[in-house]
Structures are given as C-alpha cells and as structure tokens.
Amino acid sequence: MIFRQLYDPTSSTYTYLLAERQGGEALIIDPVLDRVTQYLQLVKELDLKLVMALDTHIHADHVTGIGRLRSAVDCATAMGEQSQAECVTVRFREGETLKADGIGVKALYTPGHTDDSYSFVMKDRVFTGDTLLIRGTGRTDFQNGDPGAQYDSLFNKLLVLPEETLVYPAHDYEGRTCSSIGEERRHNPRLQVKSRQAYIDQMNALDLDPPRLIDVAVPANRRCGLDTAAEWAAW
C-alpha cells in the first residue's frame, strides 16, 4: 500500500494520500488549498490517478483543497450527508465504503467537534479528523459542536476499535504524527473521565479563542474552497 502523511505547517493540518499500488487509483483525505500543487506533483511522481478527495468535516482553520483538486484532475469530492457544503459530488453516510482501485475507507459518523464530522476506518488504522487528536480531542464550541455527542463518538465508536489500531488525526500542534487507540485510551488526558457529564463539563470549561481563519475558512469550505466565478462555472 502507498501511504503518505503530508503536513501543512500554517494550519498544522495532516493530509493523507492512499493507494494500493504505484500506477493505481488514489484517495486523498483533508487536503489543504495551499498545498494542492504539492499533492498533484506527488500524484504525478507516483503515477497515480486521484479519483476522490474527501474532507472529514467543514474545517474552520484552513481552506480545503478538494474543489481545486476536482478542477485539476476531475476527481470526485466527498463529504458526509450532514455537510452543508454546496459543491460535493458524493455524499456518504455511516457504514459506506469509499473506494479506489484495491483500497477503501469505511465512513464512521463521529459528530461532536462539528455536526458533520466523520472518521474513516481501514483494517489497521483510523483517520479521526478533529474528533480524536493525539493526547487531545477537538474543540466543541462552534459549528454546532456538541461535547455530549463527541463523548458518544469517542467512547462508543472510536475507543471500541482494537487497541492496536493506528490513529491518524487531521491536526497536531507538537510534531506528533501517529498514535494508537490503546495509547489514547491510557494516556489522553481528556479521556480520563468517569462519566459523560464530566466530559461535557471539561469541554465547556476550555474557553478557547476562535480559530483565526474561521470567518474565511467556513464560508469558503462550504464552496469546497472554490472562490471565483470561473471556478464555479467550470463545475
């Protein structure tokens, strides 16, 4: 399998490129607009055909690259059925498998950070978006976030995966690249709670500043990162 974890230092975002083999079809998860040229160069170097660009949710800290990738290579753009994005070509629901030649990810609805948040599960790993981070969890105080829903997503869907399952989040702010379900169960400080209400109280007490780009990123991401009349006309 081809697996590449790509990083945007401006937003501390991880993007994931997946393919079964060189010369085959590929999926990309959570691409960043400013890095689209890098992704396309890598796709070319690995002789891949990018067939689908997925976002785990409507991001508030960067502008997505899914629309620009579709314009460049005519790939599908995919988000969950709850998303308010106006421009996706595939709307998936929980339990559906999103496929490229020889590879696929299973959609797991994990709301809480936002009401449209999904994770993507493979046999040995899970891409958790902003729901489960390494030694943290995504904030729940905007975009219809809900700490109770996030508790349910974490404890009833993600943390019940096998403990050796690798965890690949959409962000990390301290240079960490990967964890596991077992590690996060044992060492993630936000998960060391005794009840759902304790988790809700913990998240409601965070008092975080709004993301710097939220007023730009959210409207742009509802348009898949496309912001010109020419780009919209091409769709």
Pairing of strands 76-80, 49-54: parallel
Question: Using one digit for the tens of pLDDT, what is the confidence trace for 50-59?
Answer: 999 999 988 8
Report the percentage of the chain scoring pLDDT > 70.
96
What is the pLDDT averaged over residues 29-36? 96
What tokens does 117 get?
């948040």
Longest Cα pair distance anywhere in the chain, in angstroms?
53
Ordered by start, the domain boundaries in the chain are: 2-215
How confident is the model at residue 14, as a pLDDT? 97
What is the pLDDT averaged over residues 143-163? 96
What tokens does 145 get?
């976030």
Q: How far apart are alpha carbons 106 and 145 in whole angstroms? A: 23
> Average pLDDT of the chain?
92
The answer to whether residue 6 scores a pLDDT higher than 80 is: yes
What tokens does 218 get?
């959210």
Q: In which region does residue 207 sit, left (phi positive, over 0), alpha (psi from -120 to 50) or beta (all else)?
A: left
Q: In the structure, what pLDDT confidence band is assigned to residue 215 with cuts at 50, 70 and 90?
A: confident
Q: State residue 126 phi and psi, 5-degree precision.
A: -140, 135
How confident is the model at residue 228, as a pLDDT? 45
Q: How far apart are alpha carbons 144 and 23 in whole angstroms? A: 41
Question: Using one digit for the tens of pLDDT, what is the confidence trace for 125-136?
Answer: 999 999 999 999
Q: Is 46 helix (H, G, I), strand (E, B) or coil?
A: coil
How confident is the model at residue 142, as a pLDDT? 80
How confident is the model at residue 147, as a pLDDT? 97
Q: In the structure, what pLDDT confidence band is assigned to residue 230 with cuts at 50, 70 and 90?
A: very low
Question: Using one digit for the tens of pLDDT, what is the confidence trace for 71-115?
Answer: 999 999 999 999 888 889 999 999 999 999 999 999 999 999 999
The answer to whether domain 2-215 has CATH 3.60.20.10 is: no
Q: In the structure, what pLDDT confidence band is assigned to residue 62 with cuts at 50, 70 and 90?
A: confident
Choose between 86 and 70: higher pLDDT.
70
Q: In the structure, what pLDDT confidence band is assigned to residue 144 with cuts at 50, 70 and 90?
A: confident
